[in-house]
Structure 1
Amino acid sequence: METDCTRRHEGVPPLPSGTRLLHIGPHKTGTTSIQGAMFAAKDRLGEHGVLWPATTRHPMEAVLAACARPGMMGDAGPSEKQWLQLVDRVNGAGRAVTSVISSEFFADAPDDATIGRIVAQLGGDSVHVLVTLRPLAKIMPSQWQQYVQNGLRMGYEEWLDHMLRKAPYEKPNPSFWRRHRHDRLVERWVRAVGAERVTVVVVDDRDRDGLMRTFEQLLGLPQGLLQEVPDTANRSLTLAETEMLRNLNKEFRGNGLPDELYSKLVRHGAVMHMKNACSPTPQDVKICTPQWAVEAAAEIGAEMARSIGATGVRVLGDPALLSAVPKPGTETLAEPRIAPEVAAQALYGALAAAAAAPIRNTAPVKSRTVHQTSSRELVKVLGHRCLKRLRRR
C-alpha cells in the first residue's frame, strides 16, 4: 500500500517567497543530511530565489548563542555576535528571497521567551517552522552514543532505564526529553508562530531520498537539486567504539583532567580522526536497544502522534511510523571488540591534536615526587604537564 511516506507528497505547494524556513530538528532526524545538501547546493539556490545564509554547513555556534546554551564539553562558549551576523544575512536578503536556517539545536530553546525572540529576530510573520521526526526507538541509540562523545559515562541499558523508567527522567541528560518529547516541542513553537506556520515531516527511513524531495517541494526547487553529501565526521560510533570512549570518559573524569583537554584531544582528536579514518564493517556490533525499551518508546510515540495531530499543524508522512514496533532482531549479540587499527587511529588522532593545538586556561599543579604520588594522581599531573608544554608551543 502506497502512502505519503514512499512517494513525493502530492498537493504540497511551495512556501511563499520571502519565507524564513526555520528547520529546528530535533537531533537525529535527518538534519545533517539536509544541512550538507543545502550547503553543497548553496551557489545554485539563488537561481530559484532561495538563500542558505550560514557560512558553514551547520551554524551550530550561532544557534547555541541564540538559545543561551553552552557549547560542547570543553569548547569555547558561543558568541551572540555569531547569531546576530546570521540574522543580518537573513534580513539583508530582502523580502523576495526565501531563507533556510537549519539547526537541531533550536530544539534546545529553553522557554517561550527565547523562542519568541528568535522568531521576532528572523522576521516574525515570515517565519515558518519545520520539524522533522523519526521513531524514538531509532533515535535513542544514536543520542546515547552522541552523549558519550560529550563525556557521558553511563552504559546504554542503564541510560535507557533512567530515560524511560525513572521519573522525572532528567538524569543524566535533561536535554533528551526537551528535544525528543516531540509533541511538546511542536506545541512550544506553535505558541510562537501559530499552527498554520508549522509543518511536521515524519521521516521514513525506507525512502532514503524522501526528505530531500520534501524540502525541494517546500522551497520550489527542481527535483534532484538536493543530493546527500557523505559526512564521515558525523557517523555514529559502533558499540565497541562507544564503549572504548565511555571507559575513557570514566578515567578522564576520575582523574580530574580539564574539560578543554577532553575537547581538544578526545572529541576533536581521537574520536574525529577515528571516524574519518575507519568505516564500520559488517562484523562490528551495533548498539542494540532491548525490546522493553523499544515497546516503551513506541507507546510514547503513539501518544506524541495523537498530541501533534490535535495541534492542527500540517503533517507530511505517516504518523503511525512514530509508534511502530520493529520486530526483534535475530542477530547474535557478540561481545564488542575494537579492532587494533581502530584503536591505533584513535590514539594517533589524540597525539596529532596534542602536537597541533595549544591548550590554555589550565589550573596549576602542585609539585610532588613520583614516590609521593599515587598512580591515579600521576595521570592527572602528567595531563597538566602536557597542557603546559602545549601552551608553551
Structure 2
Amino acid sequence: METDCSTRQTTAAETAAPAPPPADPWVQPMPAGPGLQPLPAGTRLLHIGPHKTGTTSIQGALFAAKDAMAEHDVVFPAHSRHPMEAALAVCARPGMMGDARPTEGHWGRLLDALRATGRRTSVISSEFFADAPDDETIARIVDDLGRDRVHVLITLRPLAKIMPSQWQQYVQNGLRMGYEDWLDHMLRKAPYEKPNPSFWRRHRHDRLVERWTRVVGAENITVVVVDDGDRGGLMRTFEFLLGLPDGLLVEVPDTANRSLTLAEAEMLRKLNMEFRGNGLPDELYSKLVRNGAVMHMKNTCRPAPDDARITTPTWALEAAAGIGAEMAERIGTMGVRVLGDPALLSVVPASASTEPEPARIDPEVAAHALYGALVVAAEAPARPAARTVHQTASRELVRVLGHRVLKRLKRS
C-alpha cells in the first residue's frame, strides 16, 4: 500500500489565486518549437500516463494506425490496444477487482514483441506504469525495455478535470463512497490515502515526474500538458515525437470508455454497497457488474444533454488549482522537457452556479444495465437447486446464489 503519495494538501483559502509558474526555457509549445526535434530513430517511447490524461484516446489511435505506422518504421508492439496486464505484472499490481492477477508471462510476451522490432522506433502506452511503487521497479522496467533507447512521456491534465473522472472509475471498481465525501478525504483528511491510496501516487504529478527522473535522467523525459481546448493536440504531439506524418493518428470512438453520468455512477455506487454488504465474491463483480451491467449500459446508452454530470464543488476546484500550481512550479525546476502550457494546471474552472438536480436514473438505462448482467449470467447453464430456500435468511441466500452463479460462469 502506498504511503508516500501526498504531502499536506493546500486548503481552498490558501489557493484562491494561485500564481502561474515561472517561465522556463524547457517549456515549448505543442507540438513543435524552436530547436525541438523528433525523437531519434530507434527510440523506445514509453508513455506512462497517468490515468485520465488522454491515455485511452492515444492508445486507440496508435493501435488503429499500427500498420500505417510500420510503413514509417514506427512499431506498436502490443497485441492489443492497451497492454494493461503487462504493466500491472511488472509493477506487481493486482488489477481490477475480481480479475485474475496478471503474471510475469504478460510482461515477458510484451518484451518478446518489443525485441522483435529490432532497431526500429517503437511506442508502448499504459497508464498503469505510473503505479510503479518504487525506484527499483522503475529501473527494472527501463532496463528490460533497453535503458539506452528509452524515452519516457508523461501526459498531464488539471486535477479539476481528473478528479470526477477518477472517482467514477473507482466506483466502477467497487468504490462505495460518494463524490463529495471522497473529495473531502482526498483533499482535507491527512494522510489523504483513504479510500484510494493510488490516487495521489498517480496524480501528485510533480512526484511522479521526480521518481522517473531519478531513474532515467531529465534528458530522457518529456512532459506534455494536455490542452482540452485542442482536441487534436495530443495526437499531433505523438506524431511529431515519433516522426510520423500529420494526420496519421486519428481518435477512435470508444463508447465503453465514456464517463458515467451522475445518476449512473450513483446507481452503481448503491449496487456496490449492496454487493459488499452481502459478502459476494469479487469475481462475480468482475463478470456480472463491471463486464456485464456497466459495459452493456455504456455501450448502448448515450447520455442526454440534460443528464446531470458529476460536478465538483468550488472549494475542491480551488484546492486542486493550488496543488496544480505547486506541481507545475516543481516540475519546471527538474530540467525535463515540457510541451504545452503548465499554467493550465492551475486554472480554476467555473463551477455550477446552481444546485444540481437530484440524480435520477432513467428506467431505460437501468434496464440496459440489468440486461447486461443477465446476458452474462445466461451464458452458464442453469441447474435446479439441491434444497429448498424457504427457511434461509435473505442475506445468506444472496451470498449462496452469488457463489453458485460464479461457479457456473467459471464452468462455462
Question: Quick one: which of 197, 202, 205 aligns to 2:228?
Answer: 205
Structure 2 match to 1:121: 144
SS at match of 1:22: strand
Residue 387 of structure 1 aligns with which residue?
406
Sequence identity, in percent? Answer: 76
1:327/1:392 Cα in 2 relative to 1: closer, same or farther (>3 Å)? closer
The structure with the greater share of residues assigned to helix is: 1
Equivalents in 2 of 1:109, 1:309: separation in Å? Answer: 23
Matches within 5 A, 1:200-279: 200-279=223-302
Deviation of the 1:389 alpha carbon: 4.2
Q: Structure 2: how far apart are the matches of 1:55 and 1:120?
A: 21
1:277-333 alpha-carbon deviations (Å, 9 max, x no partner): 011111210000000000001110000001101101000000000001012223551
Q: Please say if 1:286 is aligned against 2:305.
A: no
Letter in 2 for 1:115: I
1:303 maps to what in 2?
A: 326
Written as runs of structure 1 = structure 2, the 5 A alignment for 1:1-393 is 9=33, 11-95=35-119, 97-330=120-353, 332-356=355-379, 370-391=389-410, 393=412
Whole-angstrom CA distance in 2 between matches of 1:4 and 1:197 = 16
In 2 relative to 1, CA 19–7 (structure 1 residues): closer, same or farther, beyond 3 Å? closer
Aligned residues: 384
Once the two structures are superposed, what CA deviation does each residue of 1:205-242 show, in whole Å capped at 9, x if it has no partner? 00000000011110111000000000001111111000
Unaligned runs of 5+ in 1: 359-366
Which runs of 5 or more structure 2 residues have no equivalent in the other structure? 1-26
Cα gap change, 1:293 to 1:24, in 2 (>3 Å): same
Q: Deviations over 1:177-210 (max 9, x none)?
A: 0000000000111011100110000000000000
Please give the alpha-carbon distance, in whole angstroms, between the structure 1 residues aligned to 2:342 and 2:110: 33
Preserved contact between residue 380 and residue 411 of structure 2 (Cα < 8 Å)? no
Rounded to whole Å, the distance in 1 between the matches of 2:301 and 2:326 is 39
Summarize the Cα distance change of 1:63–1:390 in structure 2 as closer, same or farther, 3 Å threshold.
Answer: closer
1:354-373 CA-to-partner distances (Å, cap 9, x unmatched) read 12268xxxxxxxx9864543
Which letter does structure 2 place at the counterpart of 1:71? Answer: G
Q: 1: CA distance between counterparts of 2:393 and 2:409?
A: 24
SS state of the match for residue 222, structure 1?
coil
Equivalents in 1 of 2:410, 2:44: separation in Å? 44
Shift of 1:9: 4.7
Name the CA distance, whole Å, in 2 between partners of 1:124 and 1:384: 47
Counterpart position of 1:363 = none
Q: Tell me, what secondary structure is at the counterpart of 1:310? A: coil
Contact 2:44 2:121 in 1 (8 A): yes
Distance 1:53 1:324 in 2: 37
**Contact 1:8–1:210, Cα closer than 8 Å, also in 2:** no
Contact between 1:91 and 1:123, CA under 8 Å: does it hold in 2?
no
d(CA) in 1 for partners of 2:224 and 2:95?
28
Distance 1:13 1:256, change over 3 A: same
How many angstroms apart in 2 are the aligned matches of 1:157 and 1:324? 20
Q: What is the aligned partner in structure 2 of residue 361 from structure 1?
A: none
Q: CA deviation at 1:6?
A: 7.3
Contact residue 5 and residue 207 of structure 1 kept, 8 A: no
How far residue 94 of structure 1 moved from its aligned partner, in angstroms, is 1.5
8 Å contact from structure 2 (residues 31, 240) kept in 1? no
Paired residue type of 1:29 = T
Whether the aligned pair in 1 keeps the contact of 2:30 and 2:339 (CA below 8 Å) is no
Question: Within 2, Cα distance between the matches of 1:119 and 1:280?
Answer: 41
Distance 1:218 1:121 in 2: 22
- Output the TM-score relative to the length of structure 2: 0.90
- Cα distance in 2, alignment partners of residues 334 and 85 from structure 1: 49
Give yes or no for contact 1:6–1:207 (8 Å, CA) kept in 2. Answer: no
CA contact under 8 A between 1:9 and 1:214: conserved in structure 2? Answer: no
Distance 1:214 1:192 in 2: 24
Instruction: Give yes or no for contact 1:8–1:213 (8 Å, CA) kept in 2.
Output: no
- Aligned CA RMSD, in angstroms, stands at 1.9
Q: Any idea what the Cα deviations from partners look like across 1:338-384, whole Å, max 9, x if unmatched?
A: 111111110010011112268xxxxxxxx986454332222222222
- Using the TM superposition, give the Cα deviation of residue 64 of structure 1 relative to its aligned residue in structure 2, in angstroms: 0.5
Which letter maps to 2:404? R
